[in-house]
Amino acid sequence: MMFRLGQVGNCGLQLLWHLLHSILSIWYFIKAMSNLFKSYLISGGVLKRYKSLHLGKLKHLAVVIESEDAHQISKVVELLQWLDTIGVKNVCLYYMDGVLNKSKDAILQKLKNAKFFEFPC
């Protein structure tokens, strides 16, 4: 008798666990689809509140540069100059191979008010 009560209790707990897991999985799926839909609306220019960028509120901008792109120093400098032109004051560049370390002097010469900080990983 006690054995059957234990089995029924275990089945009830498993059922409760699967129900809770299903509810949370559905919730996160709906949330992900909502974020995806919102990103399409933002990209399409439908949502008006994302039309203007308030650069005064922007403290830092992080840019990840792929290894192939890091070899094109002129493109990196062009990107940094464009960001400076539109008013971005602080840009953090992230790259993997250390390619930009070899060219940092050339980058700093082309960008007058640039500072180079190196952070250990």
pLDDT tens-digit map of 74-120: 888 888 888 888 888 888 888 776 767 777 777 777 877 777 776 65
Does 63 map to a domain?
yes
Percent of the chain residues topping a pLDDT of 70:
89
- Coil, strand or helix: which one is 21? helix
> Are 37 and 58 members of one domain?
no
Lowest mean pLDDT among 14-18, 55-59, 60-64, 78-82: 55-59
Phi-psi label, residue 45: left if phi above 0, alpha if psi -120 to 50, beta otherwise: left
Does 15 map to a domain?
yes
**Taking residues 33-48, what's their average pLDDT?**
88
Are 50 and 42 spatial neighbours (Cβ–Cβ below 8 Å)? yes
Half-sphere exposure of 18 (CA within 13 A, CB side): 6
Please provide the average confidence, as pLDDT, over all residues in the chain: 82
> Are 68 and 36 members of one domain?
no
Beta-carbon contacts of 82 under 8 Å, excluding residues fewer than 6 positions away, are none
Does 119 map to a domain?
no
Domain hosting 39: range is 2-49
- CA angle in degrees (0–180, nearest 5) for 39-52-44: 35
Backbone dihedral angles phi then psi of residue 101, each to the nearest 5 degrees: -60, -35
Does 79 map to a domain?
yes
Number of separate domains in the chain: 2
Does 115 map to a domain?
no
